[in-house]
């Protein structure tokens, strides 16, 4: 379920955090379902349990999971998270567009990229 890229410059705990975020946001991991235990996952990935713990702490901090004493960690409801993620993505998007404008990128260039990505699904927009 979780794969690690050892070539990546991202620290392991960041990679793990991001993978779970994606799984939760996409609904692959359902709300209130149980997360794999820190130890299980550590063994499975052959990674130091401290590293998994750090990823889980981050996920909890960001509201992706919630801990239940003595039972483990569980997936939060993702609807709020999706909105958060959308917002931060659009912020980042805006930052990029501002930078691009300074470099002389024209509006049409962005729209071309967007159109390609959205090709079929929204072609009648």
CA angle 30, 33, 34 (to 5 degrees): 140
Report the C-alpha gap between 77 and 31 in whole angstroms: 5
- Give yes or no for residue 101 binding a second copy (CB under 8 A): yes
Judged by CB under 8 A, the number of residues near a second copy is 47
Are the C-beta atoms of 16 and 52 separated by less than 8 Å?
yes
Listed residue (32, 35, 90) closest to 58, CA to CA = 35
Find the shortest distance in angstroms from Cβ 64 to a second copy: 13
Find the shortest distance in angstroms from Cβ 36 to a second copy: 19
What separation in angstroms does the CA of 29 have from each of 2, 58, 78, 109? 12, 17, 10, 36
Which member of 46, 79, 98, 120 binds a second copy (CB under 8 A)?
Answer: 98
Which member of 1, 26, 33, 43 binds a second copy (CB under 8 A)?
Answer: 26
- Give yes or no for residue 46 binding a second copy (CB under 8 A): no
Report the C-alpha gap between 54 and 51 in whole angstroms: 5
Binding mask 34-73 for DNA (x = CB under 7 A): -xxxxxx------xxxxx-xx-xx--x------x-xxxxx
Binding mask 58-97 for a second copy (x = CB under 8 A): ---x----xxxxx---x-------x--xx--xx-xxx-xx
């Amino acid at each position: 379920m979780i794969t690690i890229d050892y070539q990546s410059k991202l620290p392991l705990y960041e990679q793990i955090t991001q993978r779970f975020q994606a799984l939760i946001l996409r609904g692959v991991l359902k709300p209130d379902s149980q997360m794999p235990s820190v130890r299980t996952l550590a063994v499975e990935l052959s990674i130091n349990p401290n590293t998994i713990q750090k990823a889980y702490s981050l996920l909890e901090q960001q509201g992706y999971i919630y801990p239940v004493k003595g039972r483990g960690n569980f997936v939060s409801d993702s609807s709020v998270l999706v909105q958060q993620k959308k917002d931060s993505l659009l912020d980042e998007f805006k930052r990029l567009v501002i930078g691009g404008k300074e470099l002389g990128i024209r509006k049409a260039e962005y729209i071309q990229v967007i159109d390609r990505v959205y090709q079929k699904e929204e072609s009648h927009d």
